[in-house]
């Protein structure tokens, strides 16, 4: 199945995936998901948010497995797809063994997990659980200025259908399998681990504003150049995050007007920050904004902060975590990456399985998992479904 997905949304120059909510690649992946479900006689239901659910059986208290199929810009092949593919493979193994589940089993493909197009992480799961308001999501714009509402309409979906559903009345447990985005399992020597917690994290937009002017005719003393405060803020982010043992990243930048021979009028930058607890995260962002403001004031420029997507700390269900760790004889580990499982864990018992990643690299074309470890992940997920269903 991973081989079938190999070429979908892959940039041949970088080898990375560009599978963004509702783009052509995402549409193809949705069709692939529906086709895999149909081939197994599973009924597919797409909710108003674009989340796809393939049902084996019907009724309440279903066991949900699955993950997402979208990617970050130039993402890898495993972040998301490994969980979906492993779920279909687990169903195949269970059926080959003649297993008859005592509760419905549902495979999910959550929409827009990475938030690469509209800026909000886990948009599909946040919408379906009511954590994200439909109005806010629908008004989000992509890089071309097109709103989510317009994109949905163009894809034949009804923007009025976006929002919370009764999913949580039908689903009692969620287990998401995911490639590890770190090297903990390399260190423990295990192919599969169980998640304990997700660090609180978020995305903030910083708008540094100044005055556009000529690069040759404007003496350095007369400039109101917002790039300078931006650069000072990036340097401060490394110092502040390193000192506090937390994480800060600037991975996206827009410069206006964007001419080599013009001082910019505006630098728009996106901060991704993560910490072990919410107090530490707030402190990092406060300190960084203070540093940005001081740098901007010294240059006669300004900076404005807009929170775009903030996810609280997640502690996965303790009894479920311990049960799966014992069942699989697997280590328990926290993660700095966000997941739909984190969103659902606020409502129903939720767990995650991680599959070893030999380099720890993720959100990159170099993301990898050995085939034997992927196989161990399917075996683990199959055991978990047997245990819980
Ligand atoms: C999702 O993978 C995230 O942690 O940003
Ligand atoms: Mn990811
Ligand atoms: Mn993911």
Spatial contact of 33 and 142, defined as CB atoms under 8 Å apart: no
Ramachandran bin of 28, using left for φ above 0, alpha for ψ from -120 to 50, beta for the remaining angles: alpha
Using alpha carbons only, give the angle 4, 83, 114 rounded to the nearest 5 degrees: 95
Q: For residues 290-300, give the mean pLDDT.
A: 98
Q: How confident is the model at residue 340 (pLDDT cuts 50, 70, 90)?
A: very high
- Residue 299's pLDDT is what? 97
Residue 83 Cβ < 6 Å to ligand 1: no
Q: Write the pLDDT tens digit of every residue in 41-98.
A: 999 999 999 999 999 999 999 999 999 999 999 999 999 999 999 999 999 999 999 9
pLDDT of residue 225: 98
CB atoms within 10 A of CB 278: 14
Residues 323, 278: Cα–Cα separation, whole Å:
28
Instruction: Assess contact for 147 and 294: CB atoms under 8 A.
Output: no
Can the peptide bond before residue 69 be classed as cis, meaning omega within 30 degrees of 0? no
337 ligand 1 Cβ < 6 A: yes
Interval between CA 341 and ligand 1 midpoint (Å): 12
Atom of ligand 1 nearest to the CA of 338: 4
Q: pLDDT value at position 188?
A: 98
Distance (Å) from CA 121 to ligand 1 centroid? 7
Which residue is it, tokens 């580990």? 333
* C-beta separation of 283 from 241 below 8 A: no
pLDDT category at 167 given cuts 50, 70, 90 is very high
Confidence of residue 257 (pLDDT cuts 50, 70, 90): very high
CA–CA distance, 266 with 113 (Å, rounded to integer): 29
Q: Which long-range contacts (CB under 8 A, 24 or more apart) does 6-12 make?
A: 6/77, 8/32, 9/71, 11/74
Confidence of residue 300 (pLDDT cuts 50, 70, 90): very high
CB contact at 8 A, 127 and 162: yes
Which ligand lies nearest the alpha carbon of 76?
Answer: 2
Structure confidence at residue 126 (pLDDT): 98
- Tokens 């966000």 belong to 338
CB 349 within 8 A of CB 320: yes
Ligand at minimal distance from the CA of 203 is 1
Q: Where are the alpha helices (DSSP H) in the chain?
A: 2-5, 24-39, 81-96, 123-129, 134-139, 148-154, 167-170, 184-188, 226-244, 278-299, 318-328, 340-344, 371-388
**Cα dihedral 349/350/351/352 (nearest 10):** 180
Average pLDDT over residues 144-154: 98
Question: Across the chain, what does the average pLDDT equal?
Answer: 98
Phi first, then psi, for residue 326 (nearest 5°) are -70, -45
Cα→Cα distances 93→23, 98, 157, 386, Å:
32, 9, 34, 11
> On the CB side of 386, how many CA atoms lie within 13 Å of its CA?
17
Estimate the crossing angle of helix 318-328 against helix 371-388, to 10 degrees: 120
Work out which ligand 1 atom sits closest to the CA atom of 272: 5
Ligand 2 center–CA 116 separation, angstroms = 10
pLDDT for position 151: 98
Of the pLDDT bands very low, low, confident and very high (cuts 50, 70, 90), residue 269 is very high
Res 175: pLDDT: 99
CB 176 within 8 A of CB 338: no
Look at the pTM and tell me if it is higher than 0.85.
yes
pLDDT tier, 17 (very low <50, low <70, confident <90, very high otherwise): very high
Q: Give distance in angstroms: CA of 201 to centre of ligand 3.
A: 14
Q: What's the mean pLDDT in 280-305?
A: 98
The contacts of residue 258 (CB under 8 Å, 6+ apart) are: 264
- Which of 20, 78, 82, 114 gets mutated to test ligand 1 (max ligand atoms within 8 A of its CB)? 114
State in Å: Cα 223 to ligand 2 middle. 40
Q: Name the pLDDT band for 260 (thresholds 50, 70, 90).
A: very high
């Amino acid at each position: 199945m991973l081989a079938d997905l190999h070429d979908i949304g892959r940039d041949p120059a970088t080898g990375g995936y560009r599978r963004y909510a509702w783009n052509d690649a995402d549409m193809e992946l949705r069709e692939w998901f529906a086709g895999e479900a149909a081939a197994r006689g599973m009924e597919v239901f797409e909710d108003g948010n674009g989340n796809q659910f393939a049902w084996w059986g019907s009724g309440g208290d279903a066991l949900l497995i699955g993950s997402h199929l979208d990617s970050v810009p130039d993402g890898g092949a495993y972040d998301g797809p490994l969980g979906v593919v492993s779920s279909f493979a687990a169903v195949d193994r269970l059926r080959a063994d003649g297993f008859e589940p005592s509760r419905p089993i549902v495979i999910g493909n959550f929409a827009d997990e990475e938030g690469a197009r509209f800026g909000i992480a886990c948009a599909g799961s946040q919408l379906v659980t009511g954590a994200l308001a439909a109005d806010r999501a629908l008004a989000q714009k992509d890089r071309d200025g097109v709103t989510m509402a317009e994109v949905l309409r163009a894809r034949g979906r009804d923007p009025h259908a976006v929002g919370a559903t009764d999913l949580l009345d039908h689903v009692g447990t969620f287990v998401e399998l995911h490639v590890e985005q770190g090297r903990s399992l390399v260190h423990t020597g295990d192919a599969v681990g169980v998640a304990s917690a997700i660090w609180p994290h978020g995305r903030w937009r910083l708008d540094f504003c100044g005055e556009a002017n000529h690069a040759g005719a404007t003496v350095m003393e007369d400039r109101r150049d917002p790039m300078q405060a931006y650069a000072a803020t990036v340097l401060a982010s490394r110092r502040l995050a390193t000192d506090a043992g937390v994480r800060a990243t600037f991975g996206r930048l827009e410069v206006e007007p964007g001419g080599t021979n013009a001082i910019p009028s505006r630098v728009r930058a996106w901060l991704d920050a993560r910490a072990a607890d919410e107090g530490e995260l707030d402190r990092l962002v406060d300190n960084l904004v203070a540093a940005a403001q001081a740098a901007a004031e010294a240059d006669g420029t300004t900076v404005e902060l807009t929170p775009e997507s903030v996810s609280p700390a997640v502690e996965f269900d303790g009894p479920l975590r311990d049960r799966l760790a014992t069942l699989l004889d697997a280590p328990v580990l926290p993660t700095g990456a966000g997941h739909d499982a984190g969103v659902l864990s606020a409502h129903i018992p939720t767990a995650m399985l991680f599959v070893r990643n030999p380099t720890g690299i993720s959100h990159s074309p170099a993301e990898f998992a050995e085939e034997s470890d992927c196989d161990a992940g399917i075996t683990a997920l199959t055991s978990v479904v047997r245990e819980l269903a």
